[in-house]
C-alpha cells in the first residue's frame, strides 16, 4: 500500500460534493419514510398505493443501477453526475406538487432512476480520483459514513418538515440538490472525453431487467386484492422478461451483466443475502411507521425520534465492524448480523396495542447493530475476488439486489398485512400489522440460512483474509503481515 500523501484542498472539495450527493440520497429516502401516513391522509391513498410511493423509487434505482454505472464509463463520470443530479432536483420538486397518487409515484420512479445514474458516477469519481491506499480508504470511509448519517438525520428532518406540511419533504431536497449541483460545477474537474468507438449501452438488457423487476413486485403486491389468475399472470410476465434479459445478455457482445460472474459462489451468496436482508429491513420499517402513527396516533416527529436509534449503524459501521471482521472474518460477522436481524423482528412479533417505547427499544437497537454488521461485510464479499474491470458490475449487482429486495419486501408486507386486516377497527389493524411482521422475520431467517453456507467456505473471507486486513487498516488497527 502506498503511503498517504494526504488530501489537498481540491480533493477535499471533490469529496465534499460527492458526500453531499450521497447524503442527499439518504436523507431523501428517510424523510419520505416518516411522511407516508400524512401523504396517505392528504391524497387518500390505499395501503397498496402508499407502498408504491416507496417501491417506485427503489425500482427505478435498482432497475437502472447497472446501466447507470456503464453510462458513467462511456459518457463521462462528471457529465453523468451533473446531468442526473439536475434530473433528481427537478423531479423531487415535482413530487411536492403532486395532487394524485399516480403523479407522486411517477415522480418517485424518475427520481430513483436519476439516483441510479448519479450514485455510481459519484462513487467512480472517488475510486478513480483518489490514489489507491490510505487516501482512497479515507475518502470511501467518509463517503459511506455520510450516507448512513443522511438516513439518520433524515428521520428527524422528515418529522420536523412533515409537521409543517408533507410537501416540504420533497421541496427541501431541491434546495440541497441545487447547492450540491453548483458545487459540482465548481469543484469536480472535467475529464477527457471517454473513447466510445465500437462501444454501446445495452439498452435492451436494461429495459428487460427493469420490466422484470417491476412486474414481479407488482405481482406480489396484487396478491392481496387481485384474483389469483391476475397475480400469477403478472408474475409469469415478470419471469418472461427475466428470461428475455438472460437471453439478451448471452448474445450481446457487450452485455450489461456478464453471466459468467454468477459462477462466483460467495458473490451469489452475498447478493441473495443482501436481497433478503433489505426485504426485511424496509418492510419492517414500513409497518412500524404505520403502527406508530395510524394506530398509536404518534406524531411524525415522535415517530422519527423513535426510529432514530436504528441509526446507530452510522457510528458502529466504521468503528466496531472492522474490528469484528479482523477477529472473526466476513462470513461470521455477516451471519451474526443476519441472525440479529431475525432476533430483532422476532422480538417485535407479539406487538401490543399499547406497547411502550421501552418494549420496542430492544428490537430497534438490535436492528441498528444488525445493519452495521451485515452491510459492510456483504459489500466486501460481493466484490472480493472480482477482476478490476468488473468491480463496477459487482457493485451494481449488489445495489440492485438491495433495491429489488426492498421493493419486494415492501410489497410482501403490504399484501400480507392487507389480507389479514378484517375491518378498520384498531384490533383489526393490529392483527394486520402482526401478520405482516412475519414477512421480515421469515426473510431474515432465510438470509441467515443463506449466510450460514458461507461459514463453510474460506472464500467468503476469514479472519486473516485481505478483506479483513483492509477493513482493519481503515480502522487503523495494526495488522500482522
In this structure, are residues 132 and 2 in contact, taking their beta carbons and an 8 Å threshold? yes
User: Residues, the chain, total?
Assistant: 481
First to last CA, the chain: 13
Euclidean distance between CA atoms 115 and 29, whole angstroms: 11
Of 169-178, 315-324, 459-468, the range with the lowest mean pLDDT is 459-468
pLDDT the model gives residue 469: 44
8 Å CB contact between 357 and 306: yes
What's the CATH number of domain 8-189, 1.20.120.1200, 3.90.1300.10, 1.20.1250.20, 1.20.1260.10? Answer: 1.20.1250.20
Predicted pLDDT at 437: 96
Query: Which of the four pLDDT bands, split at 50, 70 and 90, describes residue 481?
Result: very low
3-class SS letters over 69-103: HHHHHHHCHHHHHHHHHHHHHHHHHHHCCCCCHHH
> Residue 74 class from Cβ within 10 Å (0-12 exposed, 13-18 middle, 19+ buried)?
middle
Q: Which CATH number fits domain 261-476: 2.60.40.2230, 1.20.1250.20, 3.40.50.150, 3.40.30.10?
A: 1.20.1250.20
Residue 399 cell numbers, joined: 445495489
Residue 478 CA to residue 468 CA, distance in Å, equals 12
Query: What would the pLDDT profile of 283-342 be if each residue is shown by its tens digit?
Result: 998 899 899 988 999 988 888 889 889 888 878 877 888 888 888 888 999 999 999 999
Among residues 43, 29, 27, 309, the alpha carbon closest in space to that of 165 is found at 43
Rg from Cα positions in the chain: 21
Mean pLDDT score, 242-249: 93
Banded model confidence at residue 199, pLDDT cuts 50, 70, 90: low
Q: What is the mean pLDDT of residues 218-231?
A: 72
pTM assigned to the model:
0.80
Indicate the range of 237-241, 286-290, 465-469 predicted with least confidence.
465-469
Residue scoring higher pLDDT (403 or 425): 425
d(CA 454, CA 448) in angstroms, rounded, equals 10
Reported as half-sphere exposure (CB side, CA atoms, 13 A), residue 210 has a value of 25
Q: Which pLDDT score is estimated for 42?
A: 92
State how far the Cα of 163 lies from the Cα of 152, in Å rounded to an integer: 18
Residue 189 to residue 383: CA distance in whole angstroms: 28
Tell me whether residue 133 is exposed, middle or buried, using C-beta atoms within 10 angstroms of its C-beta: 0 to 12, 13 to 18, 19 or more. Answer: middle
Q: State the CB neighbour count (10 A cutoff) for residue 259.
A: 10
- pLDDT above 90: percentage of residues in the chain: 32
Evaluate whether 145 touches 318 at the Cβ level (below 8 Å): yes
CA atoms of 323 and 331, how far apart (whole Å): 14
The rounded distance, in Å, linking the Cα atoms of 75 and 193 is 7
Biggest alpha carbon–alpha carbon distance for the chain: 65
Write down the domain spans for the chain. Answer: 8-189, 203-255, 261-476
The answer to whether residue 3 scores a pLDDT higher than 70 is no
Work out the average pLDDT over 171-191: 88
Q: In the prediction, which pLDDT does 467 show?
A: 42
Q: Round to whole Å and give the CA distance between 288 and 405.
A: 18
**Same fold for the pair 8-189 and 261-476:** yes
Cβ–Cβ under 8 Å, residues 417 and 284: no
Instruction: Yes or no: say if 472 and 325 are a contact pair by the CB < 8 Å rule.
Output: yes
Q: How far apart are CA 348 and CA 289, in angstroms?
A: 13
Amino acid at each position: 500500500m502506498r503511503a498517504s500523501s494526504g488530501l489537498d484542498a481540491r480533493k477535499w472539495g471533490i469529496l465534499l460534493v460527492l458526500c453531499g450527493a450521497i447524503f442527499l440520497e439518504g436523507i431523501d429516502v428517510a424523510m419520505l419514510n416518516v411522511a407516508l401516513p400524512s401523504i396517505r391522509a392528504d391524497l387518500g391513498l390505499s395501503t397498496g398505493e402508499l407502498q408504491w410511493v416507496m417501491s417506485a423509487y427503489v425500482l427505478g434505482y435498482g432497475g437502472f443501477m447497472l446501466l447507470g454505472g456503464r453510462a458513467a464509463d462511456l459518457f463521462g463520470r462528471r457529465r453523468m453526475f451533473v446531468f442526473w443530479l439536475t434530473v433528481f432536483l427537478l423531479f423531487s420538486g415535482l413530487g411536492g406538487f403532486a395532487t394524485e397518487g399516480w403523479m407522486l409515484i411517477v415522480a418517485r420512479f424518475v427520481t430513483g432512476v436519476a439516483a441510479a445514474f448519479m450514485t455510481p458516477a459519484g462513487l467512480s469519481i472517488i475510486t478513480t480520483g483518489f490514489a489507491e491506499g490510505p487516501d482512497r480508504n479515507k475518502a470511501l470511509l467518509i463517503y459511506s459514513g455520510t450516507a448512513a448519517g443522511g438516513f439518520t438525520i433524515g428521520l428527524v428532518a422528515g418529522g420536523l418538515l412533515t409537521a409543517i406540511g408533507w410537501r416540504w419533504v420533497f421541496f427541501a431536497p431541491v434546495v440541497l440538490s441545487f447547492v450540491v449541483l453548483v458545487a459540482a460545477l465548481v469543484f469536480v474537474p472535467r475529464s477527457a472525453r471517454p473513447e466510445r468507438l465500437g462501444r454501446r449501452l445495452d439498452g435492451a438488457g436494461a429495459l428487460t431487467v427493469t420490466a422484470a423487476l417491476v412486474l414481479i413486485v407488482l405481482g406480489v403486491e396484487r396478491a392481496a386484492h387481485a384474483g389469483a389468475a391476475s397475480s400469477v399472470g403478472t408474475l409469469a410476465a415478470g419471469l418472461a422478461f427475466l428470461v428475455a434479459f438472460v437471453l439478451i445478455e448471452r448474445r450481446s457482445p457487450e452485455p450489461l451483466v456478464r453471466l459468467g460472474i454468477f459462477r462466483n459462489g460467495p458473490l451469489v451468496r452475498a447478493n441473495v443475502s443482501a436481497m433478503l436482508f433489505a426485504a426485511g429491513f424496509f418492510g419492517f420499517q414500513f409497518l412500524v411507521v404505520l403502527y406508530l402513527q395510524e394506530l398509536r396516533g404518534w406524531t411524525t416527529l415522535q415517530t422519527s425520534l423513535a426510529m432514530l436509534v436504528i441509526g446507530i449503524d452510522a457510528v458502529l459501521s466504521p468503528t466496531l465492524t472492522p474490528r469484528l471482521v479482523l477477529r472473526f472474518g466476513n462470513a461470521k460477522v455477516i451471519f451474526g448480523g443476519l441472525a440479529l436481524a431475525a432476533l430483532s423482528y422476532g422480538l417485535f412479533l407479539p406487538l401490543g396495542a399499547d406497547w411502550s417505547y421501552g418494549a420496542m427499544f430492544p428490537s430497534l437497537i438490535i436492528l441498528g447493530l444488525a445493519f452495521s454488521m451485515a452491510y459492510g461485510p456483504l459489500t466486501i464479499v460481493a466484490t472480493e475476488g472480482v477482476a478490476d474491470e468488473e468491480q463496477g458490475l459487482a457493485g451494481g449487482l449488489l445495489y440492485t439486489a438491495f433495491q429489488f429486495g426492498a421493493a419486494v419486501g415492501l410489497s410482501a408486507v403490504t399484501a400480507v398485512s392487507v389480507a389479514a386486516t378484517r375491518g378498520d377497527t384498531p384490533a383489526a389493524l393490529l392483527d394486520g400489522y402482526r401478520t405482516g411482521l412475519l414477512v421480515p422475520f421469515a426473510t431474515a431467517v432465510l438470509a441467515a440460512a443463506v449466510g450460514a453456507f458461507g461459514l463453510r467456505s474460506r472464500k467468503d473471507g476469514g479472519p486473516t483474509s485481505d478483506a479483513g486486513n483492509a477493513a482493519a487498516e481503515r480502522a487503523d488497527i495494526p495488522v500482522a503481515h
